[in-house]
Structure 1
């Protein structure tokens, strides 16, 4: 079985080292050091994970992440590259499910923050693996969008979501749809068909975590 999560992880670690700790990312306010620290905390500090989603615990999570980020950058990236075997998110049983999308998106967060970035070739198998969570994200995050949304992953499938009404069509490769549906709309290369007002509303909707 192809290990796309591992491929994306190693490619991201290589890119982290190539661009250095102060390079920009698509994550607002985060440098590459900040993003790397987030990934390390995600896998190695389960006590800080609830703060990612729960505002009441966010302060603790942010303090832990800042502390992790202070270590030497090469050591930080080595921890990204080599996750602990005991992590509930990166052990052999859960790695593909928990990390394929995560590391693809964050790899692109670094790639697409660079002014000279170009699309890369994504294997068909990885595109198929990305379409599964993308279709679920579309249903969950856009179910109340005031339109009938047809989301088409070219060659992989389609999903209809939204609250109903005027039709809007979102078309792209699964990887591009993933970027769009996780709040990176402006960096995603997709096609949108529908009324200009609804298209602009979709492009500026808050779709991230």
Structure 2
């Protein structure tokens, strides 16, 4: 079983446990909206194109809202979650993308649901899955930290560290510490729901907080 397949199952379970109206870390979305987003990301081209082409974003948002309405009832939400749990159609590009496109997507959205109501403990992850997430985080770092003026060094609890961003002129470097899960979520804009710590000069820490807020 691939890691993104396992994350898909855990996302479906998190949605089931939360219920359709549960809050998520995605502003304005309840669990049913997030489920609708995942279904449409894999079942149509409207949402993926809308995410990439701003003029079409309105159509994508409306499609998500329309499908989310179907999840208002208990049975409707159960059917929506079943669609989340199912593999995408064979013709859809997401079928071919594997962990590269889906592992972080499903992991982050699972945490969007789990942490939507407040602080929770990190999931216990297999070392291999954690390493896969760490590798994905490092690959994405140039994009996720692009708006941070300070340099950034990520440090895991086991002491492994990586420089992921060089400082802009006039700025120093900060050290961001946290679990792999929390570092990943911080990089993808969910830092206020994590326990990451940021160490460095006050102005550099503020530069991180401005681009990627944290507690």
> TM-score, structure 1 length as denominator?
0.88
Is the 8 Å Cα contact of residues 156 and 179 (structure 2) preserved in structure 1? yes
8 Å CA contact retained: 1:144, 1:163:
no
- CA deviation string 1:5-29 (max 9, x = no partner): 1111111111211221000000111
Match among 93, 109, 118 for residue 88 of structure 1? 93
Equivalent pair of 1:148/1:163 in contact (CA under 8 Å): yes
2:141 aligned residue: 138
Asked if the contact 1:179/1:185 (under 8 Å) is kept, the reply is yes
Tell me whether 124-133 or 188-197 shows the greater mean CA deviation: 188-197
Deviation string for 1:72-93 (max 9, x for gaps)? 111111100002241311x2x4
Name the SS of the counterpart of 1:115 in structure 2.
Answer: coil
Instruction: Classify 1:142/1:48 alpha carbon distance in 2 versus 1 (closer, same or farther; 3 Å).
Output: closer
State the alpha-carbon separation in 2 of the partners of residues 64 and 143 from structure 1. 30
Match of 2:35 in 1: 36
Q: How far apart, in 1, do the equivalents of 2:112 and 2:126 lie?
A: 19
2:10 is aligned to: 11
Tell me whether 35-44 or 182-191 shows the greater mean CA deviation. Answer: 182-191
Q: Secondary structure at the match of 1:30?
A: coil
Runs of 4+ in 1 over 6 A off after TM superposition: none
In the TM superposition, what is the alpha-carbon distance from 1:157 to its structure 2 partner? 4.5
The whole-number CA distance in structure 2 between the counterparts of 1:96 and 1:196 is 37
CA distance in 1, matches of 2:164, 2:60: 36
Q: Deviations over 1:46-94 (max 9, x none)?
A: 13321113221111111221222222111111100002241311x2x42
Supply the RMSD in Å over aligned alpha carbons.
2.0
Provide the rounded CA distance (Å) in 2 between the counterparts of 1:161 and 1:143.
Answer: 8
Q: Kindly report which structure 2 residues correspond to 1:48-67, keeping only aligned pairs within 5 A, or say none.
A: 48-67=47-66
Q: Which residue of 1 aligns with 2:82?
A: 78
Per-residue deviation, residues 164-187 of structure 1 (Å, max 9, x unmatched) = 431211122222111000001111
| SS state at 2:113 partner | helix
Distance in 2, matches of 1:69 and 1:144, equals 32
Gaps of 5+ in 2: 71-75
Which of 192, 196, 199 is residue 193 of structure 1 equivalent to? Answer: 199
Count of residues in Structure 1 that have an aligned counterpart in Structure 2: 204
